[in-house]
Amino acid sequence: MIKSCFIPSVQKLWGLILFCTALNLGGTEDLFAVDSKSPIDGGTLIFGRGGDSVNLDPAAVTDGESLNVTDNIFDNLVTTKSGTTDIIPALATKWDISADGLTYTFYLRKDAKFHDGTDVNADAVIFSFMRQKDPAHKAYKFSGPYVYFKALGLDKLIKGITKTDDYTVKFQLTRPEAPFLSCLSMQSFAIVSPTAVMKYQKKFGRNPVGSGPFVFKKWEKNQKIVLARNSKYWEGAPHLKTLIFRSIPDNSTRLIEMMAQKIHVMDNPNPDDISTLKEKLGGKVNFAKQAGFNVGYLAMNNDKKPFNNVLVRKAIAHAINKEGIIKAVYAGYAEVAKNPMPPTLWGHNDAVPGYEYNPKKAKELLKKAGYPEGFTTTLWAMPVPRPYMPDGRKVAEAIQGDLAKIGVKVKIVSYEWGTYLDKTEQGEHDMALMGWTGDIGDPDNFLYVLLDKDNTVKPAQNISFYKSQKLHDVLIAAKAESNQDKRIELYEKAQSIIYNDVPMVPLAHSITVVPTLKRVQNFQLDPTGRRRFSKVWLAK
Amino acid sequence: MFLNVVVKRLLIAVPTLLALTIILFLMVKAIPGDPAQLLLGDKATPESLQQVREELGLNKPIAVQYGIYLYNLVVNFDMGNSISSQEPVISLIGDKFPATIELSVMAILFAMLVGVPIGLIAASRPGSFVDFTSMSTAVFGVSMPVFWLGLILMWIFGLALGWLPISGRLGIDYYYEPTTGFLLFDSLFIEQDIEMFRDALAHLILPAITLGTIPMAFLARITRASMLEVLQQDFIRTAKAKGVTFWKIYLVHSFKNASIPITTILGLQFGTLLAGAIITETIFSWPGMGNWILSSVNARDIPALEGGVIAVAAAFVLINLVVDVLYRLIDPRIRLS
């Protein structure tokens, strides 16, 4: 009896000891976590992503998998402050803009060197831009097709670039263009080592040499890209010793690798993956979140009846249940859009009330517009998934259901993506789903591109075919204005005009979620989708 | 004489491959989507789209495009440059084929070493419990979706037990600079790094089992069927009457005769493996032909897609030839003509 009593108590004691040890360990860990606020140098971070890079010459590519790597190898003249779209100095420590807005003078830092040891100077800056602009340039043929350079119109905007001295460089523009500075922060306009470009020529994209925080080491195709710390980085050496980009195309495989903690960061998870990780790994994972720098919208063709009537457009805006769509199609990872630009961008007009979901009001508006029984129309559904429109078909079906409630009968139409773009650019649609991801942190890149009357010329970017002189005047004034406060004012005004005219219905701004292991510190997503690791470090 | 026949066989392969290029060319043209648009992305300007279409010759009539393609292929051995990476397709094939061959050979070894014995065991006692169990396993193997099997294996052996690597071809600490492209060979003989060889071998196990399961099941079934057929034949009865032991009859006399259909299936399955590799390679992040062809389809990288498929088809034809030659070695009565 005594014996039998004794044994369990020993077990209990052991249990207690183990329990205390566990508690104690937990305690130390917590203590350590507080203590570890000061970064630790060293370690290898493995970034698990869905595809390999195509080419590591930033001028040659537009895909995220390539630019996310080049972003860590190269620097630009200016860059964006982490987590924002604010422009801050990088290779240029300061700059002047002439009163007419046509001349930009950049003063370069003198302590920056390329990874091959050559100097970052005015010649390198001129080389980096002219190789993209001038077909007669000696390096023009080595790369290309310079998609972003052309898409943002820099080929026409930049008249010439001259050097005043080794560390001062002047850009002459053909017209005043305030967003120019934001443009320069894009990965594609990084400053490259001229020596390396001339050495590797067409193979520069496999042997990239920049001046950024990490030095390119190795590239095993479709497996991994290895970067190493640039210990002489002008901003101070990064904490990580090695940064590896692993390509794991299958989503489920990437999830299993994350669960086995073989990768530190899991890019592009499915919404389902996020819940699985929360459930299975719980406390071991953080979720970096970032409101997407994009907008998914419903374009209404203002050239066609009945969408030339503002009351009809208002009715449609009131009839759509955006929250319902976000819940059903975006799995909750989006926020309701009330303006055609995301709230993370400066100049977003928070005062715009937006059109709330109100079928009754919508019906009244339709009646006032002369359509008491509704009408029949078509709605085009995007055939490809994009972050701002994960499933065009499902969004279209949801809208179809919403509009049926106010008597508008909708037929859903879809084409292969290339054809879809061609036809909508020609204005063949009644209503069409579309979206836009910002290239640069400037409202001009959303409002002017999507809604200015200049862009209704076919093939049109403004597929709402909204032609407002009033909006045009404001947007052009904002382009020419270099005073930031005045620009904000102008863009807020522009959004009020758009709100009143409802040329389109902004639906959602998607939210990006990137799971990381808890050890990963200081990992921050950027609105423009950048993945930068110069400040990231690994806790023990 | 023997060599003559091989050359003749190779010549017959030419029209086959030619027909393939025509069909392939037409099919690729039928894929919806403008390659220029896909290359330049959603933000391309109309002028740059036009420029790229001209550079790629997409404006010319299909017959002309095909003529140019074939001329370059035959005369210059040039398949153009990959649209996405701008590298010559020929050299990309050289980069990626070894990884697929390595994986396929391992898969077929697995299929043989497991499938044939299962078939032999099943046929030794037809209708018995052993027979039933082995054949059910085989049916299960054939009917299992490859991606599902891959993920399950990964989940069990990679995640839960942690015995084997989950995906990739080599551990994160190694860097592979290909010499021959065959990682096992290179790590053992060029790098002379036994640890690296072991790591590479460990990475091969799960994808090889995943890829080899369907051929394994086929082999098990064909082995059983051929064995049962051979066992019915007169010479077996004669052998039995002469007092030869069961196992000698079974493993020597019968198996030798049954191995002809087994070799046929083996050859065919080896070809099919190359196709199955598309799924397996994608799941296991394996840097081979399958993974590459799939990403080329997604990117509408037409030169890469065409080059990849032609290379795989050529390999298929070549394997069939090898199988034919093997027949002759197994059974000299079969004539190669």
Give the confidence band of B48 by pLDDT, cuts at 50, 70, 90. confident
B138, two tokens = 């085989």
- CB contact, 8 Å: B287 with chain A? yes
Residue B334 has pLDDT above 80, yes or no: no
- What pLDDT sits at residue B67? 87
Higher pLDDT, B267 or A380: A380
Query: Ranked by mean pLDDT, which of A80-89, A113-122, B127-136 comes out on top?
Result: A113-122
Mutation choice for B interface testing from A152, A254, A257, A449 by most B CBs within 10 A: A257
The pLDDT of residue A275: 86
Q: What is the ipTM of this complex?
A: 0.84
B-chain residue closest to A56, CA distance: B85
Residues 6+ positions from A388 with CB-CB distance below 8 Å: A292, A294, A295, A296, A435, A436, A437, A508, A509, A510
Tell me if A417 and B37 make a contact (CB, 8 A cut-off): yes
Which residues of chain A make contact with B33, given a CB cutoff of 8 A?
416-418
Cross-chain CB nearest to A260 (options B158, B282, B295): B158
Residues A97/A100/A101/A102 CA torsion (nearest 10 deg): -100
- The answer, as to whether pTM is greater than 0.80, is yes
Which residue among A62, A147, A247 places its CB closest to the CB of B285? A247
Higher per-residue pLDDT: A157 or B56:
A157
* Minimum-distance CB partner of A259 among B44, B159, B284: B159
Q: Tell me what percent of the residues of chain B surpass a pLDDT of 90.
A: 25
Cβ–Cβ < 8 Å for A200, A123: no
Whether residue A145 has a cis bond before it, omega within 30° of 0: yes
List the single residue in A223, A416, A417 with the smallest CB-CB distance to B169: A223
Model pLDDT for residues B190-248, shown as the tens digit of each residue: 888 999 999 999 999 999 999 999 889 888 988 898 888 888 888 888 888 888 887 77
| Between B137 and B159, residue with greater pLDDT | B159
**Residue among A148, A252, A259 minimizing CB distance to B151:** A252
Contact A452, A464 (CB under 8 A): no
Residues of B in contact with A227 (CB under 8 A): none
B292 interface with A at CB cutoff 8 Å: yes
Which pLDDT does position B59 carry in this prediction? 80
- Give the Cα separation of B114 and B145 in Å (integer): 19
Of B33, B40, B51, the CB nearest to A416: B33
Predicted pLDDT of residue B1: 57
Residues in chain B with CB shorter than 8 Å from the CB of A150 are 45, 47-48
Q: Which residues of B touch A224 (CB under 8 A)?
A: 168, 172
Please say if the pLDDT value at position B337 is more than 80: no
Note whether B85 contacts A: Cβ–Cβ < 8 A: yes
Cβ neighbors of A180 (< 8 A, separation 6 or more) are A104, A157, A171, A173
C-alpha B17/C-alpha B25 separation (Å) is 12
Residues A62, B282: C-beta atoms closer than 8 Å:
no
Closest-CA distance of chain A to residue B233, Å: 50
**DSSP 8-state code for residue A307:** T
What value does the mean pLDDT take over residues B18-22?
89
| Contact between chains at A63 and B41 (C-beta distance less than 8 A) | yes
Q: Mark yes or no for CB contact A253/B47 under 8 Å.
A: no
Cβ within 8 Å of residue A402, ≥6 positions away: A319, A320, A321, A324, A359
Closest-CA distance, B176 to chain A, in angstroms, reads 7
Smallest Cβ–Cβ distance between A151 and the set B45, B86, B176 belongs to B45
Min Cα separation A123/chain B (Å): 28
Mutation site for A-interface testing, chosen from B167, B283, B284 by largest number of A Cβ within 10 Å? B167
Q: Which residue among B34, B168, B169 sits closest to A418, beta carbon to beta carbon?
A: B34
Q: Does B6 touch chain A (CB under 8 A)?
A: no
Structure tokens belonging to residue B92: 């990309």
Which residues from A are below 8 Å from B32, CB to CB?
Answer: 416, 418-419
At B85, is the pLDDT very low, low, confident or very high (cuts 50, 70, 90)?
confident
- Closest CB to A256: pick one of B155, B170, B287: B155
| pLDDT tens figures, A115-169 | 999 999 999 999 999 999 999 999 999 987 787 888 788 999 999 999 999 999 9
- Please write the tens of the pLDDT for every residue from A106-125: 999 999 999 999 999 999 99
Indicate if the pLDDT at residue A2 is higher than 50.
no
Taking the Cβ of residue B128 and every Cβ of chain A, the question of whether any pair is shorter than 8 Å is answered with no
Q: How far is B172 from chain A (nearest CA, A)?
A: 8
Q: Which helix (H) or strand (E) holds A104?
A: strand A103-108
**Residue B224 in contact with residue B168, Cβ under 8 Å?**
no
**Do A147 and B40 make contact, defined as CB atoms within 8 angstroms?**
yes
Nearest CA in chain B to A143: B86
Contacts of B283 in chain A (CB under 8 A): 250, 252-253
- Work out the pLDDT band at B323, boundaries 50, 70, 90: confident
Residue A260, chain B, CB below 8 Å: the answer is yes
| Closest B-chain CA to A260 | B159
Q: Which string of b and e fits A303-317 if b means at least 16 CB within 10 Å?
A: eeebbebebbbbbbb
Pair of tokens at residue B42: 């959603």
User: What pLDDT shows up at residue B126?
Assistant: 84
Could you tell me the two tokens for B152? 């399950």
Q: pLDDT tens, A347-406? A: 999 999 999 999 999 999 999 999 999 999 999 999 888 889 988 999 999 999 999 999
The pLDDT of residue A44 is 96
Asked if residue B135 lies in contact with residue B221, where contact means CB atoms within 8 angstroms, the answer is yes
Give A343 to chain B, closest Cα distance, Å.
22
Q: Quick one: tokens of A6?
A: 């004794």
Question: pLDDT (tens digit, 9 = 90+) per residue, A251-298?
Answer: 899 999 999 999 999 998 887 888 889 888 878 999 998 888 899 999
CA separation (Å) from B328 to B5, B266, B314, B331? 12, 15, 22, 5
B211 touches chain A (CB under 8 A): no
What mean pLDDT is predicted for residues B289-306?
85
pLDDT digits (tens, 9 = 90+) for A17-60: 343 333 333 333 333 343 456 899 999 999 999 888 888 999 98
Q: Which is it for strands A103-108 and A376-380: parallel, antiparallel or unpaired? A: unpaired
Residue-averaged pLDDT of chain B: 85
3-state secondary structure A273-297: HHHHHHHHCHHHEEEEEEECCEEEE
Which residue among A60, A256, A416 places its CB closest to the CB of B32? A416
Contact A492, A324 (CB under 8 A): no
Give the H or E element holding residue A218.
strand A214-220
Lowest-confidence segment of A382-386, B82-86, B157-161 by average pLDDT: B82-86
Nearest CA in chain A to B31: A416
Question: Higher pLDDT residue, A21 or A454?
Answer: A454
